[in-house]
Amino acid sequence: MAHYKMHLLVCGGTGCRASQSDKIVENLTAEIEKLGLENDAQVVTTGCFGFCEKGPIVKVVPDNTFYTQVKLEDCAEIVKEHVLKGRKVKRLLYEDPETKKHIEDSKHMGFYQKQLRIALRNCGFIDPENIDEYIAREGYAAIAKILEEMTPQEAIDVLKKSGLRGRGGGGFPTGLKWEFASKNMADQKYVVCNADEGDPGAFMDRSILEGDPHSVIEAMAICGYCIGATKGLVYIRAEYPLAIKRLQTALKQAREYGLLGEDIMGTGFGFEIELKFGAGAFVCGEETALIHSMEGNRGEPTVKPPFPAEKGYLGKPTNVNNVETLANIPVIFNKGASWFSSIGSEKSKGTKVFALAGKINNVGLIEVPMGITLREVIFEIGGGIKNGKKFKAVQTGGPSGGCLTEKHLDTPIDFDNLLAAGSMMGSGGMIVMDEDDCMVAMAKFYLEFTVEESCGKCAPCRVGNKRLHEILEKICAGKGTEDDLEYLQNLSKVIKDTALCGLGQTSPNPVLSTLEHFYDEYLAHVRERICIAGSCKALKLYTIIADKCTGCTACTRACPVGAITGEKRQPHVIDADKCIRCGACYDKCKFSAIHVQ
Amino acid sequence: MSTSTLKLQDSQIKIINNICDSFNNNPGELISILHRAQGEFGFLPEEVQRAISDKLNISIAKVYGVVSFYSFFTMTPKGRHAISICMGTACYVRGAEKIVDEFKEQLGIDVGGVTEDGKFSLDCLRCVGACGLAPVVLIGEKVYGRVETHQVKEIIESYKD
């Protein structure tokens, strides 16, 4: 293998590719060839660096130079200056938003300083389409060690000792789950990887599959050995074409290297993996629904027990783990259970990957030790709220979770603390909201999602959520009453207690948690007909500031319902009863005399 | 729901049969078969579903049940340029709703609709995972990031055919 002095790592994740990072790879390679530097520097397409806000990213190693928002025309300069002359291109370096200084080494960026990357250890570091790079980073060492030195039960014990809990949402201890599946005897068992990431605003699993597919494949094979399965299935969203392609490439390479197939590494253990495509149904993230979908049916959940560990895919014992959970497993065997359990909080070990999005400066993918506070995540890693606005809330756990507010900022994040605060870990979506976001409208947004995604099997979810959504619509339209708030509470509790599956049981969470933390906002909607955040259109109150109004009559002419009256060159007034809140006057006024509340 | 029909020719039935054969006519592979069929025909009209149910020897109700359950499958043809607007939470809080309204107004169609000339169709989808670029609009395979309402007209006009 050639030995290069320098590597230019270009992010090939979905986010950066949308900004032409594939063409940047071509340009950089061409420039390197033009200057005859092809023996000194190599361009590598990697997985996601996580810093999606400033993509496309080009990172140069070994000096950890981190170029952000690289354009096609910057490639020549990077190669000529940095690769040839060893001088960094200053203007492309990441600029610290506070000190306004360019940061020369990515290790000193606030975004990375508090992170600890275990599941994402290879993302943004290796070429996901090259198995040799994975192997060079201790890849397939864990399965080699396990197949040679350990019995299945010994390996399961390591996992139990590590304290790893499922990263898909529930937080069930992974080792225990494997043990259940291993104890149920059958002629065939299955290992399933749940890659049906349906939580809107979350892209953890996609990034892992795009950036480090082999770690998932290795972990599935380890699971197969432990529970006694020879077949694995990855249930993946059809909407993730790049992840599918990378996974297919990785599977092919693993087969060629004898790391999948019959008789892996000459140990007599055989394991094969097949892909199954989802077709866009959020409920299929629930294990029983997922299994029905893999069998070619409607993805409707069934009552547990029987658990998949007893009766799963095609009626056989099946172990379902999510992508991030699996990505943690090879490292646990390489570095030991006690290393893993030394990270994190008392009952939540290791790290968690979060997709930071919404009104935050540094949108991206982060991995932090469990027990870190929300304040550290949002203000130190996330760089604070966009446009200097005020932090209002953060939604974790997606449509099944709840919102956390300012008073939770110093709560350590782990499975149990989030549950106690009325939210949940979920798969790792973290949506930050600022003062302009109306919490009633947010609850309505999530309910709209649930109504659309409800499979319709049980009445509490099918009918109950529809009713919840209608009431929220009514409140946002300025037609709600105080009785509605009580009705929301009660109905939410009924749905929570009686729905069949996890989707239904958690669907009222956004309503309950916003009611708890932002009751004032609900009250203002139904009592004073005011939306404090100014986002509910029907509740906007338009008034004219008499001091600023010149009486030009532009607004009178613009108003479609004749709600504005006044003499020429005299301050005008808006009749609030006639006003339809269309905002036409606001757009027309040249003197900023229209006030919107 | 309005659905479009399509009279299948023998060659098209053959295509469907070949797809089913490649999955050993296994009803457990119904979703994979539908994916392939939709890839071939662009949508899944009743006739295609009927041909699949005949070949796999399962009821058409079962096929329709699956097609109607999953949002990825469609029974109406898409426009030549399929516009999908991400309505994931990240895009929503960054103003995707306004972008949807602007596209609706510019094209004169509702979400789920197709323009009369068959050039554009408009849909919402849940998270393409490019949240750093929110709000995101997909037209065919092309991704438009950080879209603002005033750019919508320009984007539509750039599709000339």
ipTM of the assembly?
0.89
Taking 70 as the threshold, does the pLDDT of residue A388 lie above it? yes
Residue of A nearest to B39 (CA): A238
Q: What pTM was estimated for this model as a whole?
A: 0.91
The confidence score (pLDDT) of residue B131 equals 82
* Statement to judge: residues A74 and A189 lie in one domain: no
* Statement to judge: residues A412 and A444 lie in one domain: no
The pair of three-digit structure tokens given for residue A60, joined into one six-digit string = 């140069």
Say how many CB pairs under 8 Å bridge A and B: 124
B66 vs B62: CA distance, rounded Å? 6
Whether residues B27 and A299 touch (CB distance < 8 A) is answered with no
Minimal CA–CA distance to A449: which of A202, A191, A181? A202
Taking contacts as CB-CB distances below 8 angstroms, the residues of chain A near B134 are 357, 363
* Statement to judge: residues A427 and A443 lie in one domain: no
Give the count of beta carbons closer than 10 Å to the beta carbon of residue B71: 17
Taking 70 as the threshold, does the pLDDT of residue A2 lie above it? no
The answer for A261, left when phi > 0, alpha when psi is -120 to 50, beta otherwise, is left
* Statement to judge: residues A303 and A177 lie in one domain: yes
Taking contacts as CB-CB distances below 8 angstroms, the residues of chain B near A296 are 26-32, 66
Minimal CA–CA distance to B158: which of B91, B97, B88, B83? B83
Residue of B nearest to A292 (CA): B28
Chain A interface, mutation test: which of B31, B36, B71, most A Cβ atoms within 10 Å? B31
* Statement to judge: residues A327 and A391 lie in one domain: no
Taking 80 as the threshold, does the pLDDT of residue B161 lie above it? no
Residues of B at the A interface, defined by Cβ within 8 angstroms: 26-32, 34-35, 65-66, 69-73, 87-94, 125-134, 136, 143, 145
Could you tell me which residues come within 8 angstroms of residue A306 by beta carbon, excluding any fewer than 6 positions away?
A: none
Q: Is A471 helix (H, G, I), strand (E, B) or coil?
A: helix
Whether residues A298 and B66 touch (CB distance < 8 A) is answered with yes
Fold of B81-157: Glutaredoxin (3.40.30)
CB B101 within 8 A of CB B139: no
* Statement to judge: residues A251 and A395 lie in one domain: no
Angle at alpha carbon of residue A45, lines to A41 and A47, rounded to 5°: 135
Mean pLDDT of chain A: 93
The confidence score (pLDDT) of residue B3 equals 54
In a domain, A239, yes or no: yes
* Statement to judge: residues A262 and A222 lie in one domain: yes
In a domain, A271, yes or no: yes
Phi, psi angles (nearest 5°) of residue A60: -110, 125
Whether residues B126 and A295 touch (CB distance < 8 A) is answered with no
The pair of three-digit structure tokens given for residue B26, joined into one six-digit string = 């296994």
* Statement to judge: residues A242 and A148 lie in one domain: yes
Taking contacts as CB-CB distances below 8 angstroms, the residues of chain A near B69 are 281, 298-299, 455
Phi, psi angles (nearest 5°) of residue A53: -55, -40
The answer for A202, left when phi > 0, alpha when psi is -120 to 50, beta otherwise, is beta
- Whole-angstrom CA distances from B70 to A194, A281, B63, B78, B124 are 17, 6, 11, 16, 14
Per the structure, the complete domain to which residue A374 belongs is given by 351-434
* Statement to judge: residues A416 and A463 lie in one domain: no
Taking 80 as the threshold, does the pLDDT of residue B160 lie above it? no
The confidence score (pLDDT) of residue B5 equals 64
Domain residue ranges in chain B:
10-69, 81-157
Q: Does A306 sit behind a cis peptide bond, omega within 30 degrees of 0 on the bond before it?
A: yes
- Per-residue pLDDT, averaged over A122-139, amounts to 96
Token pair 């200056």 is found at A81
Whether residues A363 and B131 touch (CB distance < 8 A) is answered with yes
The confidence score (pLDDT) of residue A577 equals 84
Whether residues B126 and A200 touch (CB distance < 8 A) is answered with yes
Under the banding of pLDDT at 50, 70 and 90, the label for residue B2 is: very low
User: Which residue among A52, A278, A433 places its CB closest to the CB of B132?
Assistant: A52
* Statement to judge: residues A424 and A444 lie in one domain: no
Could you tell me the CATH number of the domain that includes residue A153? Answer: 3.40.50.11540
**How would you list the strands of the sheet with A391-396, edge to edge?**
A364-369, A351-358, A429-434, A391-396, A402-405
Could you tell me which residues come within 8 angstroms of residue A132 by beta carbon, excluding any fewer than 6 positions away?
A: A1
The pair of three-digit structure tokens given for residue A31, joined into one six-digit string = 């420039």
Longest dimension (CA), chain B: 52
CB A287 within 8 A of CB A233: no
CB A242 within 8 A of CB A17: yes
* Statement to judge: residues A425 and A443 lie in one domain: no
User: What's the gap in Å between the CA of B107 and the closest CA on chain A?
Assistant: 21
Token pair 């494997």 is found at A178
- Per-residue pLDDT, averaged over A337-363, amounts to 95
Mean pLDDT comparison of A11-15, A46-50, A423-427, B49-53, highest-scoring range: B49-53
CB B60 within 8 A of CB B50: yes
- Partnered with residue A65 across adjacent β-strands are A60
In a domain, A316, yes or no: yes
The confidence score (pLDDT) of residue B4 equals 58
CB A27 within 8 A of CB A78: no
Could you tell me the CATH number of the domain that includes residue A385? Answer: 3.10.20.600
* Statement to judge: residues A397 and A448 lie in one domain: no
User: Which residue among B30, B87, B129 places its CB closest to the CB of A203?
Assistant: B129
Query: How many CA atoms does the CB half-sphere of B21 hold within 13 Å?
Result: 6
Task: Produce one character per residue of A191-210: b if its CB has 16 or more CB atoms within 10 Å, e if not.
Answer: bbbbbbbbbbbbbbbbbbbb
